[in-house]
């Protein structure tokens, strides 16, 4: 039985004894990365709020829902310091987050599963800004072969190895049913994929040098319905 | 300008001065809820792994990617204790989590936005198990009116108030574009919705007694691509 472990809370996972934990390699922890991503989304959001050139840590904290001490600590970690009683330069914070998280470095991804979820991900407007480009779809339904979704051609899963190598994709987004997830994950790894973003409602395991992020959409739902049920 | 705040890290949000923080009301914190949900998913996962009647905290910890002390602490919090060197009864843990998180209490939800993402959510197999039932779709595209997605009829957004009241839905899942999210959120609140699960790529704000969970799918992606870029 393959096993998996050694991760910080919540999802991005690699096998035990695999690679040293993120922090010992000088990598940021997952929760820090998540907060920085939320600050970034908040600062780039052009909706209703005033978008002045200077923004306070309190304003970012309010938008994201964390303590403002946490915001100042996180921004200091990536080398951004604000001016007391003035705040942070919006553009400077945005650029620093982009730089640290590597958004300028393009990351090619394939989507396995050309259903509604795969299509929704391909059409999601925000991913390009994070340096993600979807380059191909794979499905096992012959009716979908050679169709185009969100600008990307759908190939047969039988062609994965060849197409992934030709296109140089390193990330795979798995939106297939639970029962085929592990088999497809194994084939993706064999084709050279180094990171799998798994939306299939099951846990997948991979060799130690392949990073897996299990995206359990239900997790966000449960917290919300818990509070809803309690408040009624 | 409406503002929002007072939440624990990451998403479920209510306005400041609104309601007392979760913990002072005897509610569990969001991160605890998320961990319990992950334990539950792991224990219910019928894929490859052996599904014996007894499971160790180490096994759950490995599956979810947290420390096993954390698992024992969380399970003790919901009244489940294992036997030393034996483990926890799988069925007992599952039942306890279901009870505490309220999965038996049906929660009716509507989906606003009958596009790919809305469809993917409606078709997601796992939600029913968490007590969520989707009862209607709303869209502003006349071509979609009266069509059926995942067993649910698509209504015009102009009918939201009436239909939501008739069906008694309390939760809305927002999958519309960013620029219409706030207007629709206001209408949903007016129609009696008490919790909004927001997939639109923007932040929405609501009155103090309406709970909002902003689901930024990109957050999971960024952590994954960060580690991928670093490991190459």
Question: Which chain B residues are within 8 Å of A220, Cβ to Cβ?
Answer: 11, 197, 213, 215
Residue B70 lies in a domain: yes
Residue A227 lies in a domain: no
Same domain, B73 and B114: no
Compute the distance between CA of residue A174 and CA of residue A189 in angstroms, rounded to an integer.
12
Confidence of residue A45 (pLDDT cuts 50, 70, 90): confident
Residue B45 lies in a domain: yes
CB within 8 Å: B231 and A203 = no
Does the beta carbon of B76 lie under 8 angstroms from any beta carbon of chain A? no
Confidence of residue B153 (pLDDT cuts 50, 70, 90): very high
Measured between CB atoms, which of B30, B41, B117 is closest to A218?
B41
Residue A14 lies in a domain: no
Distance from CA of A8 to the nearest CA of B (A): 6
CB B173 within 8 A of CB B107: no
Chain B contacts in chain A segment 15-34 (CB below 8 A): 16, 19, 22, 25, 27-28, 30-31, 33-34
Mind listing the pLDDT tens digit for each residue in A98-138?
A: 999 999 999 999 999 999 999 989 988 778 889 999 999 99
pLDDT at B207 over 90: yes
Q: What pLDDT shows up at residue A47? A: 58
Same domain, B127 and B183: yes
pLDDT at A93 over 90: yes
pLDDT at B201 over 90: no
CB within 8 Å: B222 and A179 = no
Of the listed ranges A152-161, B11-20, B44-53, B178-187, the least confidently predicted one is: B11-20
Q: What pLDDT shows up at residue B183? A: 96
pLDDT at B156 over 80: yes
Q: What pLDDT shows up at residue A214? A: 84
Two tokens at B42?
Answer: 């792991």
Q: What pLDDT shows up at residue B90? A: 94
Residue B78 lies in a domain: yes
Q: The domain spanning residue B188 has which CATH number?
A: 3.40.50.720
Same domain, B78 and B140: no
ipTM score of complex? 0.83
Question: Which chain A residues are within 8 Å of B195, Cβ to Cβ?
Answer: 224-225, 227-228
Which of A101, A132, A153 lies at the terminal end of a domain, its last residue?
A101
Mind listing the pLDDT tens digit for each residue in B88-137?
A: 999 999 999 999 999 999 999 999 999 999 998 998 877 888 999 999 99
Q: Rounded to whole angstroms, what are the CA distances from B165 to A227, B78, B170, B198?
A: 21, 35, 9, 20
Same domain, B196 and B180: yes
CB within 8 Å: A229 and B107 = yes
Same domain, B67 and B92: yes
Rounded mean pLDDT of A134-149? Answer: 96
Which of B101, B124, B149 lies at the terminal end of a domain, its last residue?
B101
Q: What pLDDT shows up at residue A18? A: 41
Q: What pLDDT shows up at residue B136? A: 97
CB within 8 Å: B120 and A117 = yes
Compute the distance between CA of residue A155 and CA of residue A158 in angstroms, rounded to an integer.
8
Measured between CB atoms, which of A7, A116, A197 is closest to B65?
A7
Question: What is the residue range of A134's domain?
Answer: 106-219
Mind listing the pLDDT tens digit for each residue in B73-89?
A: 999 999 999 998 889 99
Same domain, A112 and A193: yes
Measured between CB atoms, which of A37, A218, A231 is closest to B37?
A218
Residue B115 lies in a domain: yes
Mind listing the pLDDT tens digit for each residue in B167-191?
A: 999 999 999 988 899 999 999 999 9
Q: What pLDDT shows up at residue A48? A: 45
Distance from CA of B169 to the nearest CA of A (A): 12
pLDDT at A80 over 60: yes
Instruction: Find, among B60, B89, B207, B141, the residue nearest to A5 by Cα.
Output: B60
CB A19 within 8 A of CB B231: yes
Exposure string of B54-66, with b = 16+ CB inside 10 Å and e = fewer, is ebbbebbbbbbbb
Mind listing the pLDDT tens digit for each residue in B32-72?
A: 898 899 899 889 876 545 568 899 999 998 888 788 999 99
pLDDT at B2 over 70: no
Query: What's the whole-number average pLDDT of chain A?
Result: 85
pLDDT at A11 over 90: no
Measured between CB atoms, which of A115, A170, A223 is closest to B213?
A223
Same domain, A111 and A212: yes
Count how many domains chain A has: 2
Q: What pLDDT shows up at residue B138? A: 98
Question: Which chain B residues are within 8 Å of A7, Cβ to Cβ?
Answer: 65
Mind listing the pLDDT tens digit for each residue in A202-220?
A: 888 899 899 998 888 888 8
Compute the distance between CA of residue B6 and CA of residue A65 in angstroms, rounded to an integer.
6
Same domain, B147 and B184: yes
Same domain, B114 and B205: yes
Residue A9 lies in a domain: no
Chain B contacts in chain A segment 93-112 (CB below 8 A): 101-102, 105, 107
Distance from CA of B101 to the nearest CA of A (A): 6
Does the beta carbon of A180 lie under 8 angstroms from any beta carbon of chain B? no
Does the beta carbon of B194 lie under 8 angstroms from any beta carbon of chain A? yes
Q: What pLDDT shows up at residue B193? A: 97
Same domain, A72 and A174: no
Same domain, A119 and A179: yes
* CA within 13 Å, CB half, B171: 25
Question: Which chain A residues are within 8 Å of B181, Cβ to Cβ?
Answer: 47
Measured between CB atoms, which of B34, B120, B224 is closest to A10?
B34
Compute the distance between CA of residue A212 and CA of residue A14 in angstroms, rounded to an integer.
6
Residue B131 lies in a domain: yes
Q: What pLDDT shows up at residue A70? A: 92
Which of B68, B101, B134 lies at the terminal end of a domain, its last residue?
B101
% of chain B with per-residue pLDDT over 70? 87
Q: What pLDDT shows up at residue B124? A: 82
Spatial neighbors of B77 by CB under 8 A, at least 6 apart, are B28, B32
Interface test with A, best of B68, B224, B229 (most A CBs within 10 A): B224
Cα of B109 vs its chain's centroid, Å:
11
């Amino acid at each position: 039985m393959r096993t998996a472990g050694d991760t910080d809370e919540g999802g991005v996972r690699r096998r035990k004894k695999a690679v040293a934990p993120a922090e010992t390699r000088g990598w940021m922890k997952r929760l820090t990365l998540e907060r920085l991503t939320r600050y970034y989304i908040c600062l780039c959001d052009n909706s209703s709020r005033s978008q002045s050139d200077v923004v306070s840590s309190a304003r970012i904290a309010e938008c994201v829902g964390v303590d403002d001490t946490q915001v100042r600590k996180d921004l200091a970690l990536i080398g951004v310091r604000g001016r007391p009683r003035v705040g942070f330069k919006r553009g400077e914070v945005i650029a620093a987050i982009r730089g640290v998280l590597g958004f300028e470095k393009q990351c090619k991804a394939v989507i396995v599963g050309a259903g509604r979820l795969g299509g929704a991900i391909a059409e999601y407007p925000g991913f390009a800004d994070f340096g993600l480009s979807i380059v191909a779809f794979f499905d096992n339904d012959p009716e979908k072969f050679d169709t185009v979704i969100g600008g990307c051609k759908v190939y047969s899963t039988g062609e994965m190895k060849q197409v992934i190598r030709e296109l140089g994709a390193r990330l795979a987004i798995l939106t297939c049913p639970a029962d085929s997830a592990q088999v497809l994950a194994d084939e993706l790894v064999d084709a050279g994929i180094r990171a799998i973003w798994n939306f299939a409602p099951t846990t997948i395991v991979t060799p130690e040098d392949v990073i897996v992020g299990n995206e359990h959409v239900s997790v966000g739902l449960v917290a919300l319905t818990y509070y809803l049920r309690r408040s009624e």
